Amino acid sequence: DVKVTQSSRYLVKRTGEKVFLECVQDMDHENMFWYRQDPGLGLRLIYFSYDVKMKEKGDIPEGYSVSREKKERFSLILESASTNQTSMYLCASSTRTGGFQPQHFGDGTRLSIL
Amino acid sequence: ILNVEQSPQSLHVQEGDSTNFTCSFPSSNFYALHWYRWETAKSPEALFVMTLNGDEKKKGRISATLNTKEGYSYLYIKGSQPEDSATYLCAFIDRGSTLGRLYFGRGTQLTVWP
């Protein structure tokens, strides 16, 4: 089974802090994704990556950056955390063939910015 | 941003009831449609990947149909059980999208009462 592991289930940070969310997958998937989920809004794509050091903006990239230095690891960075970034963050991975295979998700990180 | 609509937003049924919900998506440039189940405190789990008009898929008591020409998919649950309680997400992949990125609907939250 594919395993996607996110570093924390719950995280509390203060406004202005730089926050790192880490995601690791063990199935040699090329594609990795970061989403946030807010009540009533569904899953929204922040960034995705299709290869090491490659990244693409999703629908809501403002205030975030990403890093993919190794194939198995995809980090989401909140450069200067703000209260409107309080949310559930989900990481996912998939094979390069993309749409014909499902995405595999981590358990999520519930982030609170105080 | 592509518009993917799910209805109803929430649904409450009694154990043993059969139920269905709808996912609507753009009918042009169809590539694939995914269904996921997301139980509370767990990660989203893929149910189906559907790619051909007229596709019907089944997994136990859950089945799905696809109409790409009119842009909708139905998810059916036969004889609902309390363990079916979850949010059901559909996600559309556009033929022009890079690398299989998903556009999610807001989900249908199903509660099955014993």
Note the pLDDT of residue B1: 66
B24 touches chain A (CB under 8 A): no
Rg (CA), chain A: 13
Cβ of B104 and A42 within 8 Å? yes
Give the closest-approach CA distance of B21 to chain A in angstroms. Answer: 16
Residue B96: the pLDDT is 80
Spell out which residues of chain B touch residue A31, defining contact as CB-CB under 8 Å.
99-100
Kindly report, residue by residue over B73-94, the tens digit of the pLDDT.
999 999 999 999 999 999 999 8
Say if A9 is an interface residue toward chain B (CB within 8 Å). Answer: no
pLDDT in tens, B2-37: 889 999 999 999 999 999 999 999 988 899 999 999
Instruction: Tell me: pLDDT of A100 over 90.
Output: no
Is there a contact between B104 and B90 (Cβ–Cβ < 8 Å)? Answer: yes
Residue B113: HSE in the Cβ half-sphere, 13 Å Cα cutoff: 4
The reported pLDDT for the residue numbered A42 is: 85
Which H, E and C letters describe A30-42, residue by residue?
CEEEEEEEECCCE
Give me the residue from A43, A58, A100 closest to B89, CB to CB. Answer: A43
Q: Name which of B99, B104, B109 to mutate to probe chain A: the one with the most chain A Cβ atoms within 10 A of its Cβ.
A: B99
Residue B101: which pLDDT band, with cuts at 50, 70 and 90? confident
Are A90 and B42 a contacting pair at CB < 8 A? Answer: no
Angle at A36 between CA A30 and CA A41, to 5 degrees: 125
Alpha-carbon dihedral of residues B109, A31, B32, B102, nearest 10 degrees?
40
B66 has a chain A CB within 8 A of its CB: no
> Which of the pair, A87 or B29, is modelled with greater confidence?
A87
Residue A2 pLDDT exceeds 70: no
**Mean pLDDT along residues A31-55:** 93
Give the residue-averaged pLDDT of A37-54: 92
Looking at residue B97, the DSSP 8-state letter turns out to be S
Mutate to test the interface with B, among A32, A37, A43 (most CBs of B within 10 A): A43
**Per-residue confidence (pLDDT) for residue A88, from 0 to 100:** 96
Average pLDDT estimate for B66-78: 96
**Tokens, residue A8:** 């924390």
Q: What is the DSSP letter of A71?
A: T
Question: Residue B72 pLDDT > 70, yes or no?
Answer: yes
Q: Cis omega (within 30 of 0) on the bond before A102?
A: no
Asked whether the predicted pLDDT for residue A98 surpasses 70, the reply is no
Q: What mean pLDDT is predicted for residues A40-66?
A: 93
> What is the mean pLDDT of the segment spanning A52-73?
95
Say whether residue A42 is in contact with chain B using an 8 A CB cutoff: yes
pLDDT value of position A41: 87
The residue that leads in pLDDT, B28 or A10, is A10
Give the whole-angstrom CA distance, residue B89 versus residue B109. Answer: 9
Percent of chain A with pLDDT over 70: 97
